[in-house]
Amino acid sequence: MNRIDQAFKRLREEGKKAFIPYVTAGDPDMAVSKEIIGAIADAGADIIEIGIPFSDPLADGPTIQRAGDRSLSGGCSVKKIMNMVKELRGSICVPFVFMTYFNVILSYGIERFVADSLKYGADGVIVPDLPLEEAGMLIKEGAKQDFSVILLSAPTTPIDRFKKIAARSRGFVYYVSLTGVTGARKTFSDKISDNVKKFKKVTSMPVCVGFGISKPRHAAEMAQFADGVIVGSAIINVIEKNMGSKKKMIKDVGKFTKSIARAVHGVITEN
């Protein structure tokens, strides 16, 4: 049982939901990125998604695209991110999940990527541009090394396809709340709740909702029916607003993520 499974086991025992924040590694630079992840962990994150930037991020909206551009412009690389995770792992026990595109993994080498991710302290990966039909090699390698390959579903995913996705996903299933790219939203479809509840009836795998969630009240609403809540662009927005003061940036990111964590953890379910 890796750290992701342990986290959900603990949360189930406590009757709580998972808060899963996302940040792009190397944004605004590697040193500050490391401090930001530390602040997010201290704020109450249950799992932390760490984005490995890619030059053609098809699932990402303008906010995370800019974060990726800043990171790549600063010389960020997969190896540097691995080393950062290794340093963070010395003081942070929450699971780390990479989020990146398949070209990055393929260029690095599938077997090597999984092995190095584990060796340096990561527990899983999310690959937005890798459909179920093409994910076999990565899933097989992940299963061999107890590394979670987390698959995605969408509002347009039929129930039969979701069953196949859930059967092969490890850690959790990432439910994309909307048909579109990442980015903070003000409103959400009423169908999200119905879809997640429908999907949860056919799997014991945790189902976590992401894309567009930007406020504590949004997070609390999603936590009513999902097993976890993923927040990314809203955190990147806080980083962008504080480019003039890295000290304030880290403080404000910690404050914001703590407000989301409290909202998610305040939704208690019966065991």
Say yes or no to pLDDT of 113 above 80. yes
Residue 49 annotated to the active site: yes
Residue 188 has what pLDDT? 59
Say yes or no to pLDDT of 271 above 90. no
pTM of the model: 0.94
User: What band does 62 get if pLDDT is binned at 50, 70 and 90?
Assistant: confident
- 49, 141, 221, 227: which one is catalytic? 49
Residue 178 has what pLDDT? 64
The radius of gyration of the chain from alpha carbons, rounded to an integer in Å, stands at 17
Q: Give the C-alpha distances (Å, rounded to integers) separating 20 from 41, 98, 113, 179, 245.
A: 10, 12, 22, 20, 25
Residue 60 annotated to the active site: yes
C-alpha span between 26 and 30 (Å, rounded): 4
Name the strands in the sheet holding 152-153, side by side, starting at the edge strand that comes first in the sequence. 148-150, 124-126, 96-99, 48-51, 18-24, 228-231, 207-210, 173-176, 152-153
Cis peptide bond prior to 28, omega within 30° of 0: yes
Pick the CATH number of 3-265 from 3.20.20.70, 3.30.420.140, 3.40.50.1100, 3.40.50.12160: 3.20.20.70
pLDDT of 191-209, one tens digit each? 899 999 999 999 999 999 9
Residue 189 has what pLDDT? 58
Per-position DSSP letters for 218-237, written without gaps between them: HHHHHHTTSSEEEE-HHHHH
| Helical H segments across the chain, by residue range | 3-14, 30-42, 62-73, 78-89, 102-108, 110-120, 136-145, 159-168, 191-200, 216-223, 233-241, 246-265
- 46, 60, 141, 227: which one is catalytic? 60
Say yes or no to pLDDT of 237 above 80. yes
